[in-house]
Amino acid sequence: MRWWSLANLVSNAGTWMQLTVQSLLVLQVTGSAAMTGLSLAVQAGPGLLLGLLGGAAVDRWPRKLTAAVSQVALGAVGFTTAALVALDLLNVPVLLTLAAVTGIISTVDGPACALLGNDLVPRRDVPSAIALGSAVHSIGRLAGTALAGGAVLLFGTASAFVANGFSFVFVAAVIPFLKLVDRSAEEPETAPEPEPAAPADPRADGPDEPDDSRQRAGGGARDGLRFFLGRPQLVLLAAITALSSVFGRNYTLTLAVLVTGPLAGGAGSFGTVSTALAVGGIAGALLAGVLQRPSVRLVAAMSAIGAAFQIAAGLSPTLGLLVLLVIPMAIVESVSDTAGTTVLQTDPPPAMRGRVLGVWRSLSTGWGLVGPPAIGLLMEWTGPRAALVIGGLVVALPAVAGLAVHARRARRTVADAVGQAPVATAPEPVEPVEPVEQPEPVRVPVPARVTDGDRAPAAVTVS
């Protein structure tokens, strides 16, 4: 697990180095902000359209091989982009093609690497492993963003893509040496999950079953979608996360407008706020490591608390107070994200988890595309302060209402159980039984043979 965490740190740092300079590169090549947005949409599009198929592939193919091949493929894209940039051969069609290829590979790489990390630890340690992964992601984001500026300044824009390519190669080199935990040797913590109500399908038996070339990935994807929609806790998790992502998590946009607008700050001030967000995110991920059995209720509660901090941040009169509010806001939202990820990766049966993550990737890509334009329009109409307050209310009110309904149902269930329980009654007294008198033995004289001498008759006792 240590090597895997180190590999993830290197990979995340490389990814954020590339992302930091990618938008600038698109602007340099095209000179169009609209084209920059289009390139990001092209890269995200496969996640929306092919996420289900990617998850089905992860459930079917060997986990380590799938993750290693996808990492090598992403590294090849990074090296290709770096070469085209260095040779000044990058143009708009090639740029969009590379973005689309990256998005397609990521539909398989994302769930494969996420589930591979869980396979490295015992079942009871999976929540801690997910929390560690979240912390590594936040640290890698800080490191990659900081390294990108120095690398571009010293070696040029292509260096960021080269570094990202090598980070993928490093991960691919580590994967063959990882030792997976033997799940068959572990005692199940809970009762086995029931199979989904879908018709029986040999593809749902798991990745260890022999692969049948006649099976189609599309059927597996449909099975994953059917299972997801039939799981109430996953549907509720998706609803909570969608509201939070659209109205509560676009802080690079909402807080940037708030800092540079009503609070009259500059780029340096927003950098301070961004650092506070990153620090809070790392602290929240580490705090989430103590969670053993997170639930959707915890996700809802943390989302409501984070929304309350967002409302307070929108009403903040000074930059200093905003920074103080941003740190706990990032902490509770990081705990919420980590808890939600844990539920997502542990609630489904092992043979279904890749497809569930594929469904989630499609959904998260959808609200990721909808969120920034929606909150941007809201800020245009109401201003940044009102947008933060309205967004916080949109997130908090449904979460609080859901928690209240759940608590009421729980109390009613307990009351019904108590009312239906049999009432213990005292046993009826048992009358003492008088002992039965035993008849006295009757002595029956038995005549005996007379011998030479006269003798007294013998007696036999009969009960």
Q: Which of 46-55, 65-74, 448-457 has the lowest mean pLDDT?
A: 448-457
Is the pLDDT assigned to residue 178 strictly greater than 60? yes
* Buried/exposed code over 419-451 (b: 16+ C-beta within 10 A; e: otherwise): eeeeeeeeeeeeeeeeeeeeeeeeeeeeeeeee
For residues 392 and 248, the answer to whether their CB atoms sit within 8 Å is: yes
User: Quick one: CA torsion of 353, 356, 358, 364, rounded to 10 degrees?
Assistant: -130
Q: What is the pLDDT of residue 250?
A: 83
CA distance 415 to 229: 30
For residues 261 and 308, the answer to whether their CB atoms sit within 8 Å is: no
CA distance 449 to 310: 119
Which residue has better confidence, 64 or 196? 64
Give the residue among 125, 105, 102, 123 at the shortest CA–CA distance from 5: 125
Residues 6+ apart with CB under 8 A from 294: 127, 288, 338, 339, 340, 342, 343
Which residue has better confidence, 129 or 267? 129
CA distance 270 to 76: 35
Is 248 strand, coil or helix? coil
pTM of the predicted protein model: 0.74
CA 447, 452, 453, 454 torsion-angle sign: positive
| 156 torsion bin: left (phi>0), alpha (psi -120 to 50), beta (else) | left
Which residue has better confidence, 351 or 453? 351
The per-residue pLDDT for range 55-95, each reduced to its tens digit, is: 999 999 998 999 999 999 999 999 999 999 999 898 888 98
Give 423's pLDDT tier (boundaries 50, 70, 90): low
Give 441's pLDDT tier (boundaries 50, 70, 90): low
Q: What is the mean pLDDT of residues 283-293?
A: 82
CA distance 37 to 23: 9
The residue ranges of DSSP E strands in 409-457, in sequence order, are 442-446
